Structure 1
Amino acid sequence: MTAWNRGFAQAGRTSRLLLLIPVALIVLITVADIVAPSDIVLGPLLVIAPAITAWGEGPLVTGSVGAAAMAAQAFIGWRSGLLLSRNVLVQLFALAALSALIVILSVVRDRHSRELARVRSVAEAAQRVLLWPLPSRIGTLRLSCVYLAAEEEAEIGGDLYAAARSPQGTRVVIGDVRGKGLPAIGEAAFLLGAFREAVHQNAGLPALAGSLERSLSRYLDDFEPTDEAGERFVTALLLEIPDDDPVVRMVSCGHLAPLLLRSGRAVSAPDLAPAPPLGVGLTDPGEVTVAVLPFAVDDTLLLFTDGVVEARDRDGVFYPLADRVAQWVGQLPEALLRRVQRDLLDHAGGRFGDDAALIAIRRTGEQAPPARVR
């Protein structure tokens, strides 16, 4: 039996066990009403059974339990010889009306649940299309990533990342779109497509930054003709990591500098002299400064968006990323990000004011096997 089938079997057993609760309530209330003195009426409590059933079951099962409760109410009336009395008939009518209302609410809830499941399915598909999962191995690197969307029930937002091979080595981008909602998702999707196309066509990072700037500017002019178009931009950090040279080249377009984890310490990369964010008029790639940082075997780079360091706790204190990461310098990327994610969620209480993305990149010195063609 597969894990999937085992999960369904376990869920079915749990559902059957929970169904025993309303059935047992019907039996207990019926018996208690029969043995209680005649001036104590417990039959109206039978409505609890379908109400409890609706919490975990669908309309059909809920309606069946409601019918069983009505049968129990009728049995109580018959047992006392008052089945056709006005009091018992009113109780039966009230129980039928309440059971019907509970079934209707169960139908509405099930419909909303199905709609939510479809929305989540679409969101997951969109996430796979827009934010391709980073490969765990690429070139001489080991990678891992985490994305935490600020929007409730959302899995994608305005943060973006991608990695691709080029003749110069491995190139990586992480970025943050100004704004939220569908416009931010649209800009993130467009920039990722532009990066995947331009990463193979530009010899240096300044040329790559210039290409992304021109593409994004055209997109904003053509597809975002709003009053806020001039205020929309994307911060981005571009990395180029050669396979045979222990360095990393970086260009910051208004983005936060990464952390370098080495020899038990986590330090911020030196001042990158950032260029303007993409979309605000970067016209001369010759003015873009490329920072070169030593990046040897077993070094780790931690890239992040501002949603990480701007996450606040209940007292309004920002998340101290560098201090926390210093405790886990020796961890592999996957384990490192698991720890950071858990700690970040605890710090922020599970709520974020902005999307948050992290990428951990570790140089291994071993060439990853070529990807299989599917």
Structure 2
Amino acid sequence: MGAIALAICLPLAYYNGSLFRWQNNLTLVTIISVTGASMLASGLRLRRERELANVRLVAEAAQRVLLRPVPRRAADLQIALSYTSAAAEAQIGGDLYEVVTTPNGVRLLIGDVQGKGLGAVETAAWVLGAFREAAYDEDDLLGVSERLEASLARRLGDEAFVTAILAELRDGELVVLNCGHPAPLLLTREGGVRLMDPPEEGLPLGLAALAPGHAKPYRIPFRQGDRILLYTDGVIETRDRTGAFYPLVERASLLSEADAQHALDTLREDLLEHAGGPLPDDAAMLLLRRLRDRIMEAPLSS
């Protein structure tokens, strides 16, 4: 544009006999100055765009390591995942999840790290690493939670914590260890919907020193055709413009579609519509659907 402006200005100045007059010289200097400033600004913008693209590549690599894609099938489970970060342009945050097949069956983790930002992401990575190791080594969920507590004791501060649900699939039921996390939502094949609260409240991971005992596992009946939704508090604490919380139990009918992932995507869209904009907190959801009655050990497949 600067070259075009000069190509127009010079012939016109020559035609009008004002080529070397101060008014025309001022015009030429202005065009050259604006053009130079624009070129400098464009160069800086392009460099920052390249740097941002590189940062996004690193973030995507970190996401693949930290939050690996969960298998869509594990044993007789159909699994669906939804993860929405509250941070603009971010793909990872303080919420975490994992599904692994171990010699003791399929084990799952969903959790929420206290706080936000890079510190929460670092803690989430610490918890996931400890779970992936302990899930294979320990015989029961209490052993897994103790390993997580030991790992977090070396990492977290005095008042930091992680709410979490540890679960494992057994014949006809889901064994759950709830560490201060929102209760799972059970949707039966007959259409019933209810929150499966633990018989005793358990402390979040990282706060075991404040109580003499540990959270106790409890069992949720999980038959063919039933569905269980595990989620973080970013779902139920999302408010609309009037301040009303998202009514998860009332909207559970959205999860009745045959395809679990499509059903969960529908619920996520409804959640975003309720918020009317970006979510105030990270929101992770795992939807589990039983496909047949008896569990047979099988390798993970995606």
Structure with a larger share of its residues in helix = 1
Aligned CA-pair RMSD: 2.3
**1:311-350 correspondence runs (5 A):** 311-350=238-277
> Is the CA contact (8 Å cut-off) linking 1:257 and 1:272 kept in structure 2?
no
CA distance in 2 between counterparts of 1:176 and 1:258 reads: 14
Partner residue in 2 for 1:78: 14
Query: CA 1:80–1:321 in structure 2 vs 1: closer, same or farther (change >3 Å)?
Result: farther
Partner residue in 2 for 1:93: 29
| Alignment partner of 1:298 out of 213, 221, 225 | 225
Q: Name the amino acid aligned to 1:252.
A: N
Q: CA offset at residue 307 of structure 1?
A: 1.0
Matched, 1:250 2:176: yes
| Alignment partner of 2:106 out of 170, 183, 190 | 170
**1:1-374 correspondence runs (5 A):** 65-220=1-156, 229-242=157-170, 245-262=171-188, 263-281=190-208, 287-365=214-292, 370-371=299-300
Q: Note the alpha carbon deviations across 1:332-352, whole angstroms, 9 max, x for none.
A: 221022112222222223322
Partner residue in 2 for 1:9: none
> Is the CA contact (8 Å cut-off) linking 2:94 and 2:112 kept in structure 1?
yes
Larger Rg: 1
SS at match of 1:298: coil
Q: CA offset at residue 232 of structure 1?
A: 0.3
TM-score (norm 2): 0.90
Query: CA 1:287–1:187 in structure 2 vs 1: closer, same or farther (change >3 Å)?
Result: closer
CA distance in 2 between counterparts of 1:182 and 1:207 reads: 29
> Is the CA contact (8 Å cut-off) linking 2:184 and 2:197 kept in structure 1?
no
Paired residues in the alignment total: 298
Query: CA 1:282–1:332 in structure 2 vs 1: closer, same or farther (change >3 Å)?
Result: farther
Query: CA 1:315–1:73 in structure 2 vs 1: closer, same or farther (change >3 Å)?
Result: farther
> Is the CA contact (8 Å cut-off) linking 1:148 and 1:355 kept in structure 2?
yes
CA distance in 2 between counterparts of 1:76 and 1:269 reads: 82
Query: CA 1:270–1:253 in structure 2 vs 1: closer, same or farther (change >3 Å)?
Result: closer
Q: CA offset at residue 370 of structure 1?
A: 3.6
Moved more, 288-297 or 275-284: 275-284
CA distance in 1 between counterparts of 2:106 and 2:210 reads: 25
CA distance in 2 between counterparts of 1:355 and 1:161 reads: 12
Q: CA offset at residue 173 of structure 1?
A: 0.4
> Is the CA contact (8 Å cut-off) linking 1:213 and 1:282 kept in structure 2?
no
CA distance in 2 between counterparts of 1:216 and 1:279 reads: 6
Query: CA 1:101–1:126 in structure 2 vs 1: closer, same or farther (change >3 Å)?
Result: same
* Structure 1 residues without counterparts, runs of 5 or longer: 1-64, 221-228
Moved more, 282-291 or 344-353: 282-291
The percent identity for this pair of structures is 42
Q: CA offset at residue 371 of structure 1?
A: 4.9
Q: CA offset at residue 317 of structure 1?
A: 1.8
CA distance in 2 between counterparts of 1:172 and 1:231 reads: 26
Q: Note the alpha carbon deviations across 1:87-127, whole angstroms, 9 max, x for none.
A: 22222221111111111111111122112111211111111
Partner residue in 2 for 1:7: none
Partner residue in 2 for 1:225: none
> Is the CA contact (8 Å cut-off) linking 1:239 and 1:248 kept in structure 2?
yes
CA distance in 1 between counterparts of 2:102 and 2:162 reads: 23
* Structure 2 residues without counterparts, runs of 5 or longer: none
> Is the CA contact (8 Å cut-off) linking 1:253 and 1:276 kept in structure 2?
yes
Query: CA 1:282–1:205 in structure 2 vs 1: closer, same or farther (change >3 Å)?
Result: farther
TM-score (norm 1): 0.74
CA distance in 2 between counterparts of 1:264 and 1:91 reads: 77
Query: CA 1:287–1:96 in structure 2 vs 1: closer, same or farther (change >3 Å)?
Result: closer
Kindly indicate whether structure 1 or structure 2 has the higher relative contact order, using CA contacts under 8 Å at least 6 residues apart: 2
Query: CA 1:285–1:146 in structure 2 vs 1: closer, same or farther (change >3 Å)?
Result: farther
> Is the CA contact (8 Å cut-off) linking 1:210 and 1:283 kept in structure 2?
no
